[in-house]
Amino acid sequence: MSDIYLDVTNKIITALDQGVVPWIKPWSTPGSGADSPFPTNAITRRAYAGINIPLLWAEARLRGYRQDRWLTFNQARKAGGHIRKGEQSTLAVLYKPMSKEAQDEHGEVVRDEQGNVKMVQFALLRTHCLFNIEQTEGLASEPEDTGEAEPAAPFIDHGPAERVLELSGARIEHRFGDDAFYHPLRDLIQLPTKAQFEDVGSYYATALHELTHWSGHQSRLKRDGITGGHRFGSAEYAFEELVAEMGAAFLCALTGIQGELRHEEYLASWLNILREDKRAIFRASGQAREASEYLMTLHGQSSIEPLHQLTA
């Protein structure tokens, strides 16, 4: 039987080995009419979720797809088109929430104080084969952006991303220099000045990375990577950097920012973590999603529908 955790982890490792960071959105989608910044189903237009986001983003970058619209073989056929002969599918994961009666070590049903049977919640994982819309024939494609690139301009705040930073209530200090970090004991984010960044996307990718760290404080999400006092160079420290990197990527996508962090110094550590623990990438993406949802819903911002299930 196929090990889904191992299959997914190997996909991520393969992408990292080829220099592709799977949690970075590979393109912008101006004028596409997409309902979500994340990979979506080409037929239902619903967003894919959880570990499927980096899986599909990585595949798009590795294969050079320009669109983030996906569908199954049968969906293409029912829509009047077909998958081109010889095309290879992309791995995705389907989470199916389940519940069962709780049992003790003797196999007896466990009941609460009122005599009601206690239920245990769990999920079944199944692999799911998807194709990019560019692998099909006979189906309508999204219109491509034909506008020419605009010349470089002075730094102008990006409204949605700036709003996430401001409404978080985080203490953010800008100082001329090379340091960008979150200090848990002082509960403070320090960043270089905005003018020091090459572009707007680089600034917000960095700021949202540090804000993801900030979300793990004891008074907020209580994430072990922040509260545990782990030393630089440890596996736990590298794992928290992985969470922050993915969280920033999700926030960039949600706010419409094209920004990419390049933390090559952590690449070897991330690969070691993934090779040693096939469930690590699932935990990291789950914590990153939790952080991004928390930050996007602070102080009355529009809520985000929980992304816990792949929809097709």
- What is the tens place of the pLDDT at every residue in 51-110? 899 999 889 888 888 889 999 999 999 999 999 999 999 999 887 777 888 888 888 888
pLDDT at 238 over 50: yes
Stretch 210-217: mean pLDDT: 97
Report the pLDDT value the prediction gives residue 262, as an integer from 0 to 100: 59
pTM here? 0.68
Report the pLDDT value the prediction gives residue 9, as an integer from 0 to 100: 84
Task: Write down the domain spans for the chain.
Answer: 4-137, 159-300
pLDDT at 264 over 70: no
- What is the tens place of the pLDDT at every residue in 121-173? 766 778 889 999 999 999 866 544 444 444 445 788 999 999 999 999 999 99
- Cα separation, 100 vs 96, whole angstroms: 13
pLDDT at 21 over 80: no
Buried b (16+ CB within 10 A) or exposed e, 238-275: bbbbbbbbbbbbbbbbbbebbbbbeeeebeebbeebbe
- pLDDT band, residue 178 (cuts 50/70/90): confident
Q: What is the DSSP string of 110-166?
A: PB-TTSPBPEEEEEEEEEEEEEEGGGEESSPPPPPP-PPPPPP------HHHHHHHH
